[in-house]
A and B are shown apart, each in its own frame.
Chain A
């Protein structure tokens, strides 16, 4: 068992290899505050309510450092992950910006944060570190302590772009730590689609600790796609904080396929009237994987609308955790919120812990939520078998369909098709019918 002393020591050990001081005083102060918090916080254990079902002690048995000498990746390797429709792409290799693989045809700012932070100081300073709080969050604090590079996207007023911006994070090195930081500022009336894509060239144990902040001004619309297809030995921690101004719309689809242990915190604050969000998620895992998703939709002001569909498909001895908190504050009248957690267990050893959590302090609201955990429906399987499909083919198709309902919501056709193929391949490879619970 980890004692507080050793876990404190562990976080300190991770602080080695921080970036050099920035010429920007405010940035240095932000990092220094975060370093202080890291010093005061401990590695979460299952005794923490927020981490009850997620044992991350395997992380603490390994030592991770940022990579100083990043090895180049062949263009052909990057090309295989390219999104054909992308208007811009930023590639990061083990956390380091790779300009040779990056481009920007959007006409607005899509650049690496290390460069952008000096060029667009005032805009960045107004938002960076203001949305993702790290007071009680060791991983957000660590990311902020290492705050150096990542993506900066500034979408000017009334600029609407349908083609996606692709942020591609490639891991190549065993025991590498990377701390990507992304900031998306969508000015009033603008629209953009951002794809964050995490993957690995090798199945090594590495540590990705990402923080993304998004600020949507009035009437702005952001589609946010997050694909976590890390290597099977990876540790992936991510915090995403989104702030919505008047009548802005945020739509997110998160897909978790990879990593040994992953934890995704997504917080959306409806900070003005008439804001809307939909946050959908799919975790498709097997073997010894653990995928944990914690979401918070914070209705702070009236007339907000939120929709959430979260699905987990769990095979082998894997474990999925979902905690979906919906907060409706006292002033947030006429909030319209619905949440659905749907879970599919494919093996007797698989496990799902789902916890919808509604906290409602307003009296004129519409809030619906539901959670199901189950196996495939007998009547659905029979329907397909009555059309000639074998038991295995019927189950595979239904499992695929269960996941595809979330994938279908991704607004980028080529990515959607590729993920559908990935889900198809993964569901075809699932355990044979004989090993399934009846």
Chain B
């Protein structure tokens, strides 16, 4: 929801990033204020997922220019774990499986580490168990998932629910959800979207990275951005997503090229 008096959470200016020496982000600009929901759309290879990973601090990506300011601080100065503690959350497109570590153990470790980093109280296993079970109801998750190894043998939908469960526990100020809708059937999509909607409030913001409009029927964005060749080339309201769904991405690229010729 767009509020008049909301403050800027994230300001990305002319961000460039490379992986293995190849430039993927080529001048990314984005401003996200508290309370807002942004959708970043675009064809495969446009740099959407790279942008998400760069914000979270993935070591494979090197920032080669520009700046990212999060709540007034240079986010790029922070290690990934410090970003998490500061309130940045990345919901993974492909959540990692960790055989041998119980989900409950992992969730509690993450929760307590982030709580400690924010100067808040940690929970012992019993307290945490009550707390996490309550959060799981939000995502209609079976408590059995606490006893299983992290993401091991989870279906695509179960993995994504587990990601949103982590979001619910860590209460980020900025949640970047990378292709959270991919691989979900319609019921799982509804549950995951419902969970995200319940976590959204006037003090946090959500950036949805998605290829398809489908998710945006459930999580309604305030802004829709189209990425192409490593930067945002078009921004609109939620109706832009419908137009993209109907017409594909090609016309956006063509429009950009046409504008470039006009301006030249």
Distance, CA A398 to CA B56, complexed state (A): 20
B95 near A378 with CB under 8 A, answer: no
A397 near B101 with CB under 8 A, answer: yes
Please give, as numbers and ranges, the residues of chain B lying within 8 Å of A383 by CB-CB distance: 92, 95-96, 98
B60 near A404 with CB under 8 A, answer: no
Known: A383-B92, A390-B81. A402 touches B100 (CB 8 A): yes
Chain A 397-422 per-residue mask, 1 if CB under 8 angstroms from chain B, else 0: 11011111100100000000000000
- Least CB separation from A401: chain B residue: B100
A408 near B95 with CB under 8 A, answer: no
Q: Which of B57, B60, B109 contacts A386 (CB 8 A)?
A: B57
Q: Is B18 an interface residue (CB 8 A)?
A: no
- Whole-angstrom distance between the Cβ of A392 and the nearest chain B Cβ: 10
Q: Is B8 an interface residue (CB 8 A)?
A: no
B98 near A386 with CB under 8 A, answer: no
Q: Is B113 an interface residue (CB 8 A)?
A: yes
A385 near B79 with CB under 8 A, answer: yes
- Whole-angstrom distance between the Cβ of A419 and the nearest chain B Cβ: 12
Distance, CA A382 to CA B57, complexed state (A): 8
Q: Which of B99, B101, B113 contacts A388 (CB 8 A)?
A: B113
Q: Is B84 an interface residue (CB 8 A)?
A: yes
B98 near A380 with CB under 8 A, answer: yes
Q: Which of A385, A393, A401 contacts B84 (CB 8 A)?
A: A385
A382 near B58 with CB under 8 A, answer: yes
Known: A378-B59, A382-B59. A391 touches B98 (CB 8 A): no
Q: Is B40 an interface residue (CB 8 A)?
A: no
Q: Is B85 an interface residue (CB 8 A)?
A: yes
Known: A386-B56, A386-B90. A393 touches B113 (CB 8 A): yes
Distance, CA A382 to CA B81, complexed state (A): 9
Distance, CA A385 to CA B117, complexed state (A): 13
B59 near A393 with CB under 8 A, answer: no
Distance, CA A401 to CA B79, complexed state (A): 23
B96 near A380 with CB under 8 A, answer: yes
Known: A378-B59, A383-B95. A391 touches B81 (CB 8 A): yes
- Least CB separation from A387: chain B residue: B110
B96 near A388 with CB under 8 A, answer: no
- Whole-angstrom distance between the Cβ of B125 and the nearest chain A Cβ: 14
Q: Is A62 an interface residue (CB 8 A)?
A: no
Give the contacts of B78-109 with A (CB-CB under 8 A). 79-81, 83-85, 89-90, 92, 95-96, 98-101, 106, 109
Please give, as numbers and ranges, the residues of chain A lying within 8 Å of B80 by CB-CB distance: 382, 385-386
Q: Is A69 an interface residue (CB 8 A)?
A: no
Q: Is B114 an interface residue (CB 8 A)?
A: yes
- Least CB separation from B58: chain A residue: A382
Q: Is A379 an interface residue (CB 8 A)?
A: yes
| Chain B interface category by residue count | 20 to 34
Distance, CA A397 to CA B110, complexed state (A): 12
- Whole-angstrom distance between the Cβ of B50 and the nearest chain A Cβ: 14
Known: A386-B84, A387-B170. A398 touches B98 (CB 8 A): yes
Please give, as numbers and ranges, the residues of chain B lying within 8 Å of A82 by CB-CB distance: none
Known: A382-B80, A387-B170. A401 touches B99 (CB 8 A): yes
Interface size on A, residues (CB 8 A): 25
Taking each of A380, A383, A385, A408, which has the highest tally of chain B beta carbons within 10 Å of its own beta carbon?
A383
B96 near A405 with CB under 8 A, answer: no
Distance, CA A393 to CA B98, complexed state (A): 14
Q: Is A21 an interface residue (CB 8 A)?
A: no
Q: Is B49 an interface residue (CB 8 A)?
A: no
B96 near A379 with CB under 8 A, answer: yes
Q: Is A389 an interface residue (CB 8 A)?
A: yes
Q: Is B204 an interface residue (CB 8 A)?
A: no
- Whole-angstrom distance between the Cβ of B22 and the nearest chain A Cβ: 18
- Least CB separation from B85: chain A residue: A388
A393 near B90 with CB under 8 A, answer: no
B100 near A389 with CB under 8 A, answer: no
- Least CB separation from A394: chain B residue: B81
Taking each of A382, A390, A394, A403, which has the highest tally of chain B beta carbons within 10 Å of its own beta carbon?
A382
A389 near B110 with CB under 8 A, answer: yes
Q: Is B210 an interface residue (CB 8 A)?
A: no
Distance, CA A400 to CA B109, complexed state (A): 14
A388 near B117 with CB under 8 A, answer: yes
- Whole-angstrom distance between the Cβ of B94 and the nearest chain A Cβ: 8
Distance, CA A388 to CA B81, complexed state (A): 4
Distance, CA A400 to CA B79, complexed state (A): 23
Give the contacts of A195-235 with B (CB-CB under 8 A). none
Please give, as numbers and ranges, the residues of chain B lying within 8 Å of A384 by CB-CB distance: 98, 106, 110
Distance, CA A405 to CA B98, complexed state (A): 10
Chain B 106-137 per-residue mask, 1 if CB under 8 angstroms from chain A, else 0: 10011001100100000000000000000000
B113 near A404 with CB under 8 A, answer: no
- Least CB separation from A438: chain B residue: B59
Distance, CA A391 to CA B80, complexed state (A): 9
Known: A385-B81, A387-B114. A404 touches B100 (CB 8 A): yes
Please give, as numbers and ranges, the residues of chain B lying within 8 Å of A398 by CB-CB distance: 98
Distance, CA A379 to CA B92, complexed state (A): 11
- Least CB separation from B118: chain A residue: A388
Distance, CA A384 to CA B92, complexed state (A): 11
- Whole-angstrom distance between the Cβ of A346 and the nearest chain B Cβ: 16
Please give, as numbers and ranges, the residues of chain A lying within 8 Å of B95 by CB-CB distance: 383
Please give, as numbers and ranges, the residues of chain A lying within 8 Å of B166 by CB-CB distance: 387
- Whole-angstrom distance between the Cβ of B57 and the nearest chain A Cβ: 7
- Least CB separation from B98: chain A residue: A401
Please give, as numbers and ranges, the residues of chain A lying within 8 Å of B117 by CB-CB distance: 388
Please give, as numbers and ranges, the residues of chain A lying within 8 Å of B149 by CB-CB distance: 401
Distance, CA A384 to CA B56, complexed state (A): 12
Which residue numbers of B lie inside 8 Å of A, CB to CB? 56-60, 79-81, 83-85, 89-90, 92, 95-96, 98-101, 106, 109-110, 113-114, 117, 149, 166, 170
| 23 A-B contacts (beta carbon < 8 Å) | A377-B96, A380-B98, A382-B56, A382-B59, A382-B80, A383-B92, A385-B79, A386-B80, A386-B81, A386-B90, A387-B166, A388-B81, A388-B110, A388-B114, A388-B117, A389-B110, A390-B113, A393-B109, A401-B101, A403-B100, A404-B101, A405-B99, A405-B100
Given contact pairs A385-B81, A385-B84, a sample of 4 additional A-B residue pairs in the complex whose CB atoms are under 8 Å apart: A386-B56, A386-B57, A386-B83, A388-B113
Which residue numbers of A lie inside 8 Å of B, CB to CB? 377-380, 382-391, 393-394, 397-398, 400-405, 408
